[in-house]
Amino acid sequence: MAKLILQNVEKRYETFHAIKGVDLSIDDREFVVFVGPSGCGKTTLLRMIAGLEEITGGDFSIDGVRANDIPPDKRGLAMVFQTYALYPHMTVADNMGFALKMAKVPRDEIKAKVAHAAAMLQLDKVLDRRPKALSGGQRQRVAIGRAIVRNPKGFLFDEPLSNLDAALRVQMRTELVKLNKQLQTTMIYVTHDQIEAMTMADRIVVLNAGIIEQVGSPLELYNNPANLFVAGFIGSPKMNLLEGVVTARDDRHVDVTLDDAGSVTLVADRVNVAPGTRVTVGMRPEHTALVTDGPIGGVADFVEHLGNETLVYVKRPDGRLLIVKADDLAGVRMGDAVTLAPRGDRSLLFGPDGKALL
């Protein structure tokens, strides 16, 4: 069991307000990812949960017990760092069992726990090796194994995969998610990589400048970003954002005339927006198509063939680039005049304050 509740949690350094009143409830067994740009406070928040950073305001509880002042080693949470911090002179088995040895756990029990964790992490064949004789992925697994043997209530990961190559990162992503289901423990995972967040999380917490912008499942954030920040942060390539003004509204549609020529008609039966309102239209590259006679024009500035898909960068009259994702683009070449059409049912609308209107 580890249910973690943060209420109005703050972190003030002497001259800097790093975390500005965070409210968050993390359920037992949940896999929660903190994501956000560099400096947004995700590591600080994780370290406050771990007990490695003082909480300067608000309340933090673990399973209903106020934990603000509980020392890190008494919180029952295990932290796994980006740098694995393994002891180079010890074998894998000794590295994994070290904390138990310090806690005077009987030798047989340590051996059994290490063997169990090693089997789970496919480290059973390398238990006698020293860290320098391991691959990067294996070292990362040893660091995780060292946490598992302590049987913590929750795991806290600080960018644990950033030192691995791309292929291994993808593999470890899946393994960590499986581990979460297998161990049935709460996991909090910090990353600046929104793809990692999307693929791993039960729920994503998007942080920006010390505040939470939105909390939700990956698909909630993708389909219904609460504001322009989340809209721009989640999704790859990034959502296209164009400013304009609402020119017409009926029961089912909103027409927007774009500042830089062109228009978009959005399907919108719930949104309450009057003609004349200044808005930003959000169109994901995968929901925008190159068509003949589309309502938005530009010039194909760059065409990027990725194999399974093609990205076309379309330069607008004002010089801004829009991205269109397509799987079949026979015939589009750099310099061609093109027109495009966003899907009216998948385009999003944001008000003057940057908040989502649909």
Q: Please give the residue ranges that form the binding site for ligand ATP (CB under 6 A).
A: 13, 16, 18, 36, 38-44, 192
d(CA 204, CA 105): 37
Beta-bridge partners for 9:
22
Q: How far is the CB of 40 from ligand ATP (least distance, A)?
A: 4
Cβ neighbour number for residue 349 with a 10 Å cutoff? 21
Of 49 and 268, the one with the shorter C-beta distance to ligand ATP is 49
The answer to whether the beta carbons of residues 321 and 338 sit under 8 Å apart is: no
Q: How far is the CB of 203 from ligand ATP (least distance, A)?
A: 18
For Cα atoms 251, 253, 258, give the angle at the middle one, nearest 5 degrees: 145
Of 16 and 302, the one with the shorter C-beta distance to ligand ATP is 16
Locate all alpha helices (DSSP H) within the chain, ordered by sequence: 42-50, 92-102, 107-120, 136-148, 166-183, 194-200, 218-223, 228-233
Of 40 and 281, the one with the shorter C-beta distance to ligand ATP is 40
Of 146 and 192, the one with the shorter C-beta distance to ligand ATP is 192
For Cα atoms 277, 279, 283, give the angle at the middle one, nearest 5 degrees: 145
CA end-to-end distance (rounded Å), the chain: 37
Q: How far is the CB of 44 from ligand ATP (least distance, A)?
A: 3
d(CA 57, CA 20): 9
For Cα atoms 322, 261, 233, give the angle at the middle one, nearest 5 degrees: 30
Of 156 and 340, the one with the shorter C-beta distance to ligand ATP is 156
Q: How far is the CB of 288 from ligand ATP (least distance, A)?
A: 30
Q: How far is the CB of 291 from ligand ATP (least distance, A)?
A: 40
Q: How far is the CB of 56 from ligand ATP (least distance, A)?
A: 12
Of 192 and 316, the one with the shorter C-beta distance to ligand ATP is 192
